[in-house]
């Protein structure tokens, strides 16, 4: 309401509030609501929704352009997401996109209301599409994480199996080597005994 009082509220010389022209009965209810919500800050822009979430003012960034806080001036005059809509309502921005109070005070309030309705619907559509893409992205990331974990588990299992098989092969190799060593030792012992016997016979003259 401070913004409304400072920028949009008009008083007579006697101190009475001037009735805003958008409240004229010839305007449709939708047009009146679109204008009234902006004038009284009863909208869904980040500058208001962030306040209820405890977000600092400078961090209530526009979710579409990510360039600056989404205040009323940014929403109506600056955000490039609505550039094409502004071009279709060039009568509102004939003197540029800088003066918010001038745009809101435009004499053709029906034109202003239709512009605000277009912008709001476009914003809602873009945010729904954005949220849908984010959900899809999160689903893909979760799927990728599960697949990665599965591949890691399968790889670890294969490595463990291969390691066990290698150990068994090594054990069998060690057993075979030990058996060969035993045979060699036995052969050497037998040959030594034979040599001793032959020498004994030769010495004794048998």
Terminal-residue alpha carbon distance, the chain: 133
- What local confidence, expressed as pLDDT, does residue 143 receive? 84
> What are the tens digits of pLDDT across the range 111-122?
889 999 999 999
Say whether pLDDT at 14 is over 60: yes
User: Percentage of the chain with pLDDT > 90?
Assistant: 21
**pTM (global) more than 0.85:** no
> What are the tens digits of pLDDT across the range 95-142?
655 567 777 777 788 888 999 999 999 999 999 998 888 888 888 888
The contacts of residue 105 (CB under 8 Å, 6+ apart) are: 8
């Amino acid at each position: 309401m401070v913004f409304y009082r400072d920028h949009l509220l008009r008083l007579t010389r006697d101190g009475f509030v001037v009735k805003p022209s958008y409240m004229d009965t010839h305007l449709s209810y939708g047009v009146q609501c679109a204008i009234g919500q902006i004038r009284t800050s009863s909208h869904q822009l980040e500058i208001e929704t962030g306040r209820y979430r405890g977000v600092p003012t400078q961090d209530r960034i526009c979710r579409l352009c990510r360039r600056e806080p989404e205040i009323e001036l940014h929403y109506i005059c600056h955000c490039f997401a609505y550039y094409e809509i502004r071009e279709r309502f060039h009568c509102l921005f004939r003197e540029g996109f800088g003066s918010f109070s001038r745009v809101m005070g435009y004499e053709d309030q029906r034109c202003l209301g239709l512009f605000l309705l277009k912008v709001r619907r476009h914003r809602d559509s873009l945010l729904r599409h954005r949220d849908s893409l984010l959900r899809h992205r999160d689903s893909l990331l979760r799927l990728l994480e599960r697949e990665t974990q599965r591949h890691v588990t399968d790889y670890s299992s294969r490595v463990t199996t291969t390691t066990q098989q290698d150990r068994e092969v090594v054990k069998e190799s060690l057993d075979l080597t030990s058996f060969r060593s035993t045979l060699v030792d036995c052969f050497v012992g037998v040959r030594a005994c034979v040599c001793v016997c032959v020498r004994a016979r030769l010495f004794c003259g048998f």
